[in-house]
Amino acid sequence: MAPESTPDLLFKVPIDQTGNIVCTRPQDKIYLLTWTSPPDNRLRTDFCQALLLALDIVEQRYPPGVLITTSGISKFYSNGLDLEHATYTPHFFTESLPWMPKEGVVDALGGLPETLSFVDELKLVAKAQPGMSGRSVYSELKREMYRQSLQLLEGFADEDGREFARIAAEKRDREAGERRIREWEGRTKAKLLELCENYDAGGISPNLEWLQQVQAEVTIPVYVMVRPRGGDFNYSADEFEQMRRSVEDFEPYADGYVFGILDVCGHVDVERTAELVRLARGKPCTFHRAFDETPDLFDALERVVEAGFQSAQGRIDIIVGGGVRSHNIGLLRTDTQARLFHSAAIDEGTPSEQEVASLKVAVQG
């Protein structure tokens, strides 16, 4: 059963400076882990820490399903033990893994089409909810890859003691995994959020209560769209007055504003745009995609500067937007030398945290 299209890229986890662990989704609730790094890198601490993080992310941020890997488990080899790795990864060992098909963990059986056929034939997606043992399939793989059962057995002779210690250890491992994910998300999340309603119409001013709710829940700056309707960017007197009121209403909650006004000829309306900049009272302002509708982009840039838009050190920043995704942002960065990018990061109709993370990883190279 061949995949219908290129697997969705969910996220990348860097392996020090030697490559990435990449997670894609070839089908619903089927996750594929691959990596680009030297073969002997699997013996090192950096690789295993990256793999643990990837497993944490799949386990705690996605629905239970089947995990496919190009190698079911990293291994120690008798002629390749890395002392640093042994020191920092206690009780790391492997054993035969007869539970793998039962638990929904599949070591690659040839190419991806063959593996997907195997998953379909054994109905592993249905069986991996959340796994035959009661733990998620990803917990099982981590437990085999990085478990501490030898340490537990040393201190508890009776079965009840071992079970209590096992539960406590798994709780610690899950909490540690959540910390790793939060640290990773802190490095890969968006730098700011543009808030608008009616995305299909190009975005309009959001409801004030929604802005208040979003501002209370996020820790990054929130720039709010000021636009009374979809369509063109030449506004009537009543619509402009509505925009003025929106800036004033949003002022206690917005960290910045996004707007743009054109005159009847399609040029930047310097006078009315400048008035909104003044009403912003020094908060950052972004002239949005109305810029793209102007007949002369260089003239439009001069008018935007005249209206009072500026960035750090008095310089104008140009934001690249429109169809920006994790699969093309690297090329856009190379071709344009731009510093800032705008993406809706939408996956199946809703904003995707993992697409944001993948965008950040891609733009950082």
User: Which tens digit of pLDDT belongs to each residue from 157-206?
Assistant: 566 666 666 677 677 777 888 888 888 777 666 677 888 888 778 889 99
For β-strands 193-195 and 222-225, DSSP reports them as parallel
Q: Look up the CATH number of domain 189-317.
A: 3.20.20.380
Cα–Cα separations (whole angstroms), residue 112 to 63, 127, 156: 21, 20, 43
Instruction: Tell me what pLDDT residue 16 has.
Output: 74
- Look at residues 63, 49, 48, 61 and name the one whose alpha carbon lies nearest to residue 131: 63
- Look at residues 303, 310, 253 and name the one whose alpha carbon lies nearest to residue 286: 310
Which residue ranges in the chain fall short of pLDDT 50?
A: 1-4, 72-100, 108, 131-135, 146-153, 312-313
- Residues 323, 332: Cα–Cα separation, whole Å: 11
Instruction: Give pairs for 228-234: CB < 8 Å, separation 24+.
Output: 228/204, 229/201, 229/204, 230/198, 230/201, 230/202, 230/204, 231/201, 232/262, 232/293, 233/260, 233/261, 233/262, 233/290, 233/293, 234/261, 234/262, 234/263, 234/264, 234/266, 234/269
Instruction: Tell me what pLDDT residue 260 has.
Output: 93
257 pairs with which residues across the strands?
Answer: 224, 285
Instruction: Tell me what pLDDT residue 89 has.
Output: 44
Every domain of the chain with CATH number 3.20.20.380 lies at: 189-317
Taking only the tens place, the pLDDT of each residue in 257-288 is 999 999 999 999 999 999 999 999 888 898 98
Instruction: Tell me what pLDDT residue 266 has.
Output: 95
Taking only the tens place, the pLDDT of each residue in 135-162 is 455 555 555 554 444 444 455 556 666 6
- Residues 60, 86: Cα–Cα separation, whole Å: 27
